[in-house]
C-alpha cells in the first residue's frame, strides 16, 4: 500500500486537503450516466464521416465528389478547399506551440496527403450507411510519391522530401537543399572534449523507441451545429474547450465569440486531446448541410490519424571519474514529428539531463518530419524518450563503476541551488528525497531469484502554470458551486472542490465543482502540462478567499462591528468583540440574508499562475524473463514521486500508477508497425498491445511531499512525471535479468530471445 512520507508541518491545520473524499463525478461514472463525446445527440443531427488516404505520401490530382453528392440522403461534402487559405502561424497551444495552417491541413489535406489515414474529404448524411456509401463514391486521383516512415531514413540526404520549401533551421549555415529535418537545437555547458578527457570510464550507446499512441479508450467525438445566424456550437470531448474554440475560429475564419464549446466528459486524453481533428470539419459540414452533424472516430481512425508520440533514436555518451562523478555527457536526440513539424524534441532535450549536475554537456535535438501521423502531446511529451537513453546509459555507467544505482544517482543529483541543464536554478525540489524513499523501501531489499532482474530509473517534468479562470458562487442554502474551465481528466474536480471547501470551511460534499462551457466562464488554457490543480487550483483558492472576505464584511455589517472584529473559521463568522456577545454566523445564515447585505455572494478570479514546481520521480522495477520464450513478467513495481502536496492522495496515487502502467506498455509491448508500403499494420487494440490487468502487478507508490511555496497548499503538478522513468526502469531490469544491455523498445519476446542468443 501507499505511504505518504514526511507530511510537512505547515501550520495550515488542513481539514480537507490531504483527505480522500468520494469524487464528485463518481456516481455518474459508475452508473453509466456521465456524458462523453459520443453520448451527446441533437434532434435532426446528421452523421459525419471522413475519407482517408490509403497512401502514405501522394499528390492529390483531383477530388470528384459529384457521384457522392447525388446520393439521396447526402447533405454535405467538404474538402480542404472549404477551409480558407492559412498563413503559417505559430500560436501557443498549451502543450507547446501549434501551427494553425498545419492543424488545418491535418484536419483536411490540401495538395498532398502525408500519411496513411490522412483526412481528404468528409460527408454528412442522414444515416451511417449512407455516409459510408457516399465516401465510396468520392473519386480521388493521386500521384503516388515515395514515402519514408523511419526517422533516420527521413534525415538522409536522398530521402523523399515531404515539403520542398522546408530548409533546416538552427544550423550554423543556411542549407542549400530542402530537408525533412525541420530544425536542430542545442543545449550546452562547459567543454565537452575536456570533460571526456578527464573521465576514467566512458559508456556510449544508441537507443531506439517506436512511435506509441496515448491509447485513451474513448475515440474522438463531437457534435457541431452551425446556425443560420452564424452562431456555432460544439459539444466535444477534449482537454480544452477554449482550445477547440480558438482552433475552430482560426481554421474556419470566423470570430471566436461566434463559437460556444461545451466540454463533454473526457474518456482519457494523456495529451492526445490537446488539438482538433473533427471539430472544424463537423462545423464546415454543418454550415453546408444546415443541420447539426455528429462525428465519432473508429479505433482504426484513432490509431491511423491521431496521436501518436514520436519514434526516436537516442545516442548517449557519458563519462565519469572513478569516484562516480559524471564529468561529461553528449546526447543526440532524433525525434519523428510525423507529417508536420512539432515533435517534442525540445522538451526531450531540456529534460534529458535535468536530474544530473553535469559540468560539461552537449545535447543536440532534431525535429524530423516523415510520413506517419502528425504527433500529438503524450504525457510529459518527449521526456520518457530521452530519459530512456540517458537512464539506460547511467545504469550501465554505475555498473561499470561497481556502484549502487541509487548511490551513483545521489552523487550526481541536482539539488536546490543547482542550475538545471535547461537553464533555471532549482528551488524547493524533492528529487533526492524520492531516491531516498526508494532506498528505504522494502522493495529494494527483496532477494531476486534466477532469471530475475531489478531496474531503477529517475525522471523529471517541468510542470506548468498559465492562464486560468475560476468562480466560486454561494448558494442561498450555504453550499458552494465551483466553476472552472478545465476538463477533468484525472480527478481535478475533486481537488477543486476540496481546495474551495478548505478555504470556505465547508464539508467537501457541500461544494459542487462544475466544468463550464466557453460562454460560462472566463478563458482557461487547456488541461495539460500538469497545470490544472496548480494553476486553476490557485484561481479557485483565491476566488474562495475573496468570498470569505466578502462573508466577513457581511457579518460585520450584520453585527455592526468593524471587519477587523470578524474572523472566519470552520465555515462561520466569529465576532472577536467579546463584549458584543454575538453568536457565530454560519455561512448558511449569511447566505440566507444575502439580499440585505449586498446581493448574491460569489467571486471570480482570473490569473496567469507562475511558479509551478518541477516534479521528480524514481521508479524501481523487478522483472522475470523466461529465457525460453523471451516473455517478461513485471514482478514488483514501486514509484516514488515528489508531489509537493497531495490534495487528494488517492488520485495522486492513481496518476502515478497510471503513468507507470503506460510506461511499462511502452517498454514491453507497444509500437506502431508499418508495412513496406507505409501503412500501419496494427491499427487496433488486438495488435497494438496495451497492458491489461493480467500483465501488471500492484503498483506501489510513495508520495514524497516537498511543498511548493508558490501554491496555497503546496501542490506541484503530478500527472506527467510518472511516465518518464518506467521505460528505462523496465529496460534496466530486463538487461540485469538476462545480462545483456537492451537498447531497443519494445522489449518484445523476439528481441529478448535474440539478445539471449548472443550470450
Partner 1 sequence: MSKQHITATVNGDPVEFLSEAGATLLDALRDELGLTGSKEGCGSGDCGACSVILDGRLVCSCLVLAAEAEGRRVETIEGMAEGGVLHPLQRKFIEHAALQCGFCTPGLLVAAKALLETNPDPSESETRYWLAGNLCRCTGYDKVIRAVMDAGAELRQARVA
Q: Catalytic residue positions?
A: 720
Closer residue to partner 1 in complex, CB, 40/461: 40
Q: Least distance from C-beta 39 to partner 1, angstroms?
A: 4
CB 371 within 8 A of CB 382: no
Helices 100-107 and 279-289 pack at an angle, to 10 degrees, of: 60
Interface with partner 1 (CB under 8 A), residue from 211, 661, 706, 738? 661
CA distance 100 to 65: 26
CA distances from 655 to 652, 658, 702 (A): 5, 5, 12
Q: Is the dihedral of CA 247, 241, 718, 405 positive or negative?
A: negative
Interface with partner 1 (CB under 8 A), residue from 183, 452, 545, 657? 657
Q: Rule CB under 8 A: say whether 546 interacts with partner 1.
A: no
Residue labelled with grid coordinates 507507470:
660
Closer residue to partner 1 in complex, CB, 265/330: 265
Q: Least distance from C-beta 215 to partner 1, angstroms?
A: 5
Q: Rule CB under 8 A: say whether 235 interacts with partner 1.
A: no
Return the beta strands (E) in 549-612 as ranges.
566-569, 572-575, 585-586, 602-609
Element (H, E) at 284: helix 279-289
Interface with partner 1 (CB under 8 A), residue from 684, 709, 754, 757? 684
Span interacting with partner 1, options 73-81, 158-166, 209-217, 552-560, rule CB under 8 A:
209-217
By CB under 8 A, what part of segment 29-88 binds partner 1? 29-36, 38-39
Closer residue to partner 1 in complex, CB, 237/545: 237
Q: Least distance from C-beta 136 to partner 1, angstroms?
A: 15
Closer residue to partner 1 in complex, CB, 92/687: 687
H helix intervals, 342-404: 345-352, 383-401
Span interacting with partner 1, options 101-109, 598-606, 658-666, 740-748, rule CB under 8 A:
658-666
Q: Rule CB under 8 A: say whether 660 interacts with partner 1.
A: yes
Element (H, E) at 635: strand 632-642
Q: Least distance from C-beta 114 to partner 1, angstroms?
A: 26
Residue 124 pairs in a beta bridge with: 48, 76
CB 462 within 8 A of CB 497: no
Judged by DSSP in three states, 658 sits in helix
Span interacting with partner 1, options 17-25, 225-233, 469-477, 604-612, rule CB under 8 A:
17-25
- Name, in order, each residue with C-beta under 8 angstroms of 502's C-beta and a sequence gap of 6 or more: 14, 15, 16, 17, 713
Say if residue 482 is preceded by a cis peptide, omega within 30 of 0: no
Q: Least distance from C-beta 703 to partner 1, angstroms?
A: 14
CA distances from 19 to 193, 493, 633, 704 (A): 52, 15, 34, 16
Judged by DSSP in three states, 682 sits in coil
Closer residue to partner 1 in complex, CB, 216/460: 216
- Name, in order, each residue with C-beta under 8 angstroms of 561's C-beta and a sequence gap of 6 or more: 575, 577, 580, 582
By CB under 8 A, what part of segment 291-320 binds partner 1? 296, 298-299
Q: Least distance from C-beta 185 to partner 1, angstroms?
A: 31
Q: Least distance from C-beta 380 to partner 1, angstroms?
A: 15
Residue labelled with grid coordinates 449569511:
590
Q: Least distance from C-beta 211 to partner 1, angstroms?
A: 17
Return the beta strands (E) in 84-220 as ranges.
90-92, 97-99, 112-113, 119-125, 139-144, 181-189, 201-209
Q: Least distance from C-beta 260 to partner 1, angstroms?
A: 23
Closer residue to partner 1 in complex, CB, 501/699: 699
Interface with partner 1 (CB under 8 A), residue from 6, 8, 10, 20? 20
Interface with partner 1 (CB under 8 A), residue from 181, 349, 699, 738? 699
Give the residue among 297, 289, 283 at the shortest CA–CA distance from 225: 283
Closer residue to partner 1 in complex, CB, 684/709: 684
Interface with partner 1 (CB under 8 A), residue from 685, 740, 749, 751? 685
Nine-digit cell at 293?
452533424
Q: Rule CB under 8 A: say whether 278 interacts with partner 1.
A: no
Interface with partner 1 (CB under 8 A), residue from 178, 611, 654, 749? 654
Judged by DSSP in three states, 557 sits in helix
DSSP 487-537: --SSSHHHHHHHHHHHHHT--GGGEEEEEPPTTTS-----S-TT-IIIIIH
CB 535 within 8 A of CB 612: yes
By CB under 8 A, what part of segment 120-139 binds partner 1? 129
Element (H, E) at 363: strand 361-369
- Structure letter (DSSP) for residue 257: G
Q: Least distance from C-beta 263 to partner 1, angstroms?
A: 13
Interface with partner 1 (CB under 8 A), residue from 690, 744, 749, 751? 690
Q: Least distance from C-beta 161 to partner 1, angstroms?
A: 36
Residue labelled with grid coordinates 520521480:
617
* Cα 472 to the center of its chain, rounded Å: 27
Interface with partner 1 (CB under 8 A), residue from 5, 18, 23, 304? 23
Interface with partner 1 (CB under 8 A), residue from 95, 502, 653, 705? 653
Span interacting with partner 1, options 106-114, 170-178, 486-494, 536-544, rule CB under 8 A:
486-494
Q: Rule CB under 8 A: say whether 265 interacts with partner 1.
A: yes
Closer residue to partner 1 in complex, CB, 219/365: 219
Closer residue to partner 1 in complex, CB, 316/623: 623
Give the residue among 268, 312, 293 at the shortest CA–CA distance from 690: 268
CB 656 within 8 A of CB 666: no
Span interacting with partner 1, options 176-184, 240-248, 259-267, 331-339, rule CB under 8 A:
259-267
CA distance 602 to 84: 42
Span interacting with partner 1, options 4-12, 254-262, 400-408, 684-692, rule CB under 8 A:
684-692
Q: Rule CB under 8 A: say whether 526 interacts with partner 1.
A: no
Interface with partner 1 (CB under 8 A), residue from 6, 8, 27, 580? 27
By CB under 8 A, what part of segment 408-427 binds partner 1? none
Q: Rule CB under 8 A: say whether 219 interacts with partner 1.
A: yes
CA distance 670 to 689: 6
Q: Least distance from C-beta 747 to partner 1, angstroms?
A: 18
# binding residues, partner 1 (CB under 8 A): 58
Interface with partner 1 (CB under 8 A), residue from 48, 267, 308, 712? 267
Residue 535 pairs in a beta bridge with: none
Q: Rule CB under 8 A: say whether 270 interacts with partner 1.
A: yes
CB 154 within 8 A of CB 341: no
Q: Rule CB under 8 A: say whether 359 interacts with partner 1.
A: no
Interface with partner 1 (CB under 8 A), residue from 6, 8, 22, 88? 22
Q: Rule CB under 8 A: say whether 692 interacts with partner 1.
A: yes
> Which residues of the chain form contacts with partner 1 (CB under 8 A)?
20, 22-23, 25-36, 38-39, 129, 214-219, 265-270, 296, 298-299, 489-491, 650-651, 653-654, 657-662, 684-686, 690-696, 698-699
Amino acid at each position: 500500500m501507499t505511504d505518504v512520507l514526511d507530511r510537512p508541518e505547515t501550520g495550515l491545520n488542513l481539514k480537507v486537503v490531504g483527505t480522500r473524499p468520494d469524487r464528485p463525478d463518481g456516481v455518474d461514472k459508475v452508473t453509466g450516466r456521465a456524458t462523453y463525446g459520443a453520448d451527446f445527440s441533437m434532434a435532426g443531427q446528421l452523421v459525419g464521416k471522413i475519407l482517408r488516404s490509403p497512401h502514405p505520401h501522394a499528390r492529390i490530382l483531383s477530388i470528384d465528389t459529384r457521384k457522392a453528392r447525388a446520393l439521396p440522403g447526402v447533405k454535405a461534402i467538404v474538402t480542404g478547399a472549404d477551409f480558407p487559405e492559412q498563413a503559417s502561424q505559430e500560436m501557443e497551444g498549451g502543450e507547446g506551440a501549434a501551427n494553425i495552417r498545419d492543424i488545418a491541413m491535418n484536419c483536411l489535406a490540401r495538395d498532398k496527403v502525408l500519411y496513411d489515414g490522412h483526412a481528404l474529404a468528409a460527408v454528412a448524411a442522414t444515416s451511417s450507411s449512407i455516409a459510408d456509401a457516399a465516401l465510396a463514391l468520392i473519386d480521388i486521383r493521386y500521384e503516388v510519391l515515395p514515402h519514408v516512415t523511419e526517422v533516420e531514413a527521413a534525415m538522409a540526404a536522398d530521402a523523399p522530401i515531404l515539403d520542398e520549401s522546408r530548409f533546416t533551421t538552427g544550423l550554423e549555415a543556411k542549407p542549400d537543399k530542402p530537408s525533412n529535418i525541420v530544425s536542430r537545437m542545442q543545449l550546452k555547458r562547459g567543454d565537452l572534449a575536456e570533460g571526456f578527457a578527464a573521465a576514467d570510464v566512458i559508456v556510449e550507446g544508441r537507443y531506439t523507441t517506436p512511435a506509441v499512441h496515448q491509447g485513451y479508450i474513448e475515440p474522438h467525438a463531437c457534435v457541431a451545429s452551425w446556425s443560420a445566424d452564424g452562431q456555432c456550437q460544439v459539444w466535444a470531448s477534449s482537454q480544452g474547450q477554449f482550445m477547440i474554440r480558438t482552433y475552430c475560429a482560426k481554421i474556419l475564419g470566423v470570430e471566436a465569440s461566434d463559437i460556444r464549446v461545451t466540454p463533454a466528459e473526457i474518456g482519457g486524453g494523456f495529451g492526445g486531446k490537446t488539438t482538433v481533428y473533427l471539430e472544424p470539419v463537423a462545423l464546415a459540414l454543418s454550415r453546408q448541410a444546415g443541420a447539426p452533424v455528429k462525428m465519432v472516430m473508429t479505433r482504426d481512425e484513432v490509431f491511423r490519424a491521431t496521436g501518436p508520440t514520436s519514434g526516436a533514436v537516442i545516442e548517449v555518451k557519458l563519462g565519469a571519474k572513478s569516484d562516480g562523478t559524471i564529468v561529461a555527457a553528449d546526447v543526440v536526440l532524433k525525434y519523428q514529428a510525423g507529417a508536420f513539424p512539432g515533435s517534442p524534441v525540445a522538451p526531450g532535450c531540456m529534460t534529458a539531463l535535468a536530474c544530473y549536475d553535469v559540468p560539461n554537456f552537449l545535447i543536440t535535438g532534431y525535429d524530423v518530419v516523415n510520413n506517419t501521423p502528425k504527433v500529438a502531446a503524450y504525457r510529459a511529451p518527449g521526456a520518457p524518450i530521452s530519459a530512456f537513453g540517458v537512464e539506460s546509459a547511467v545504469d550501465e555507467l554505475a555498473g561499470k563503476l561497481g556502484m549502487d544505482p541509487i548511490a551513483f544517482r545521489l552523487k550526481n543529483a541536482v539539488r536546490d541551488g543547482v542550475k538545471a541543464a535547461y537553464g533555471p536554478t532549482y528551488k524547493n525540489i524533492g528529487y533526492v528525497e524520492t531516491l531516498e524513499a526508494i532506498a528505504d523501501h522494502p522493495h529494494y531489499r527483496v532477494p531476486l531469484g534466477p532469471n530475475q532482474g531489478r531496474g531503477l530509473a529517475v525522471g523529471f517534468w517541468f510542470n506548468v502554470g498559465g492562464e486560468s479562470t475560476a468562480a466560486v458562487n454561494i448558494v442561498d442554502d450555504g453550499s458552494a458551486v465551483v466553476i472552472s474551465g478545465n476538463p477533468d481528466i484525472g480527478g481535478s474536480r475533486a481537488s477543486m472542490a476540496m481546495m474551495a471547501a478548505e478555504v470556505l470551511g465547508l464539508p467537501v460534499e457541500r461544494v459542487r465543482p462544475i466544468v463550464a462551457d466557453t460562454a460560462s466562464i472566463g478563458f482557461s488554457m487547456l488541461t495539460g502540462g500538469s497545470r490544472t490543480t496548480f494553476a486553476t487550483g490557485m484561481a479557485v483558492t483565491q476566488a474562495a478567499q475573496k468570498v470569505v472576505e466578502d462573508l466577513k464584511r457581511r457579518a460585520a455589517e450584520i453585527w455592526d462591528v468593524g471587519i477587523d472584529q470578524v474572523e472566519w473559521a470552520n465555515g462561520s463568522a466569529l465576532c472577536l468583540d467579546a463584549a458584543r456577545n454575538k453568536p457565530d454566523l454560519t455561512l448558511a445564515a449569511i447566505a440566507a440574508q444575502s439580499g440585505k447585505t449586498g446581493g448574491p455572494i460569489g467571486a471570480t478570479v482570473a490569473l496567469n499562475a507562475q511558479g509551478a514546481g518541477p516534479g521528480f520521480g524514481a521508479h524501481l522495477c523487478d522483472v522475470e524473463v523466461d529465457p525460453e520464450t523471451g516473455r517478461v513478467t513485471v514482478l514488483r513495481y514501486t514509484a516514488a514521486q515528489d508531489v509537493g502536496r497531495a490534495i487528494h492522495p488517492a488520485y495522486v496515487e492513481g496518476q502515478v500508477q497510471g503513468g507507470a502502467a503506460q510506461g511499462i506498455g511502452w517498454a514491453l509491448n507497444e509500437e506502431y508497425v508499418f508495412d513496406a508500403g507505409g501503412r500501419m499494420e496494427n491499427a487496433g487494440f488486438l495488435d497494438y498491445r496495451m497492458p491489461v490487468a493480467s500483465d501488471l502487478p500492484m503498483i506501489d507508490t510513495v508520495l514524497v511531499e516537498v511543498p511548493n511555496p508558490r501554491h496555497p497548499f503546496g501542490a506541484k503538478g503530478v500527472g506527467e512525471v510518472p511516465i518518464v522513468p518506467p521505460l528505462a526502469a523496465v529496460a534496466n531490469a530486463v538487461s540485469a535479468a538476462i545480462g545483456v544491455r537492451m537498447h531497443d523498445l519494445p522489449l518484445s519476446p523476439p528481441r529478448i530471445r535474440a539478445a539471449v542468443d548472443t550470450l
